[in-house]
Structure 1
Amino acid sequence: MAYDAGLAQMMGEDLDGHMGITSKKMFGGLCFLLNGNMVCGVHKDGGMFRVGKSREAEALAIEGARPLDFTGRPMGGMVSVDEDLLADDQRRAILLQMAMENASSLPPK
């Protein structure tokens, strides 16, 4: 896998204690899911958060966040973040809260 295992561990620790959290290899990295719905993950260039389309603009206003565009087209409701943002506890916590709220609003898979 081409992602930073330390960043994956940090994100996993952020989610520790939340019921329904699992991890899965996706997008060439490791993703964390709540009841089968993606919350966040790490990839070779940093990480990603599924904040939902309604909060995408709010998430993109955070320094270090940009549209997620693995395919060359932005994936609505998802943001990609650099390693500096992931290392910042405050900014990471804000995006993680948005992503958890989004995943919690979706039916379990």
Structure 2
Amino acid sequence: MAYDVGLADRVRAVMRAESGLTERRMFGGLAFLLHGNMAVAASSQGGLLLRVDPAQVETLINEPHVRRFEMRDRKMTGWLHIGDEAVEEDDALRSWVDHGVTYARSLPPR
């Protein structure tokens, strides 16, 4: 499955004012990076692939339609999959993207 182009456009609109923003195809989706660090991606599985502070994962996975991201049956530390249902509303999308942006900003530029 290809990523949702409409969702990618919505993410782009939320992130357009961020300095150091680039886009790159990754994991079959479209990733949005800040100064070389991935913040969020329109996932090839639908919804978002979100990079977050690993210390926040336990709290965030309690939200509806949120699960740990797995690659080859391995749960990835600090990565979440946010289902389409959780980002239907623009305010909800903005909130999830903000989590990724905040964490990406905390990392040294690559």
Give the structure 1 partner of residue 50 of structure 2: 49
Distance 2:48 2:99 in 1: 15
Give the structure 2 partner of residue 13 of structure 1: 13
Alpha-carbon displacement from aligned partner over 1:73-97 (angstroms, at most 9, x marks no partner): 1111010011111223233222222
Give the structure 1 partner of residue 67 of structure 2: 66
8 Å Cα contact 1:69-1:75 kept in structure 2: yes
Number of aligned residues: 109
Give the structure 2 partner of residue 36 of structure 1: 36
Distance 1:70 1:9 in 2: 25
Alpha-carbon displacement from aligned partner over 1:16-47 (angstroms, at most 9, x marks no partner): 11111111000011000010000000122221
4+ long deviations beyond 4 Å = none
Distance 1:94 1:34 in 2: 17
| Residues 94-103 or 32-41, more deviating | 94-103
Q: Give ranges in structure 1 of 5+ residues lacking alignment.
A: none
TM-score normalized with structure 2 length: 0.91
Q: Normalized per residue, which structure has more strand? A: 2
Give the structure 2 partner of residue 105 of structure 1: 106
TM-score normalized with structure 1 length: 0.91
Distance 1:8 1:94 in 2: 15
Distance 2:54 2:16 in 1: 26
What is the Cα-based RMSD across aligned positions, in Å? 1.4
Give the structure 2 partner of residue 94 of structure 1: 95
User: Any idea what SS the aligned residue of 1:69 has?
Assistant: strand
Distance 2:50 2:81 in 1: 7
The sequence identity of aligned pairs, in percent, is: 30
Q: Give ranges in structure 2 of 5+ residues lacking alignment.
A: none
Distance 1:87 1:7 in 2: 9
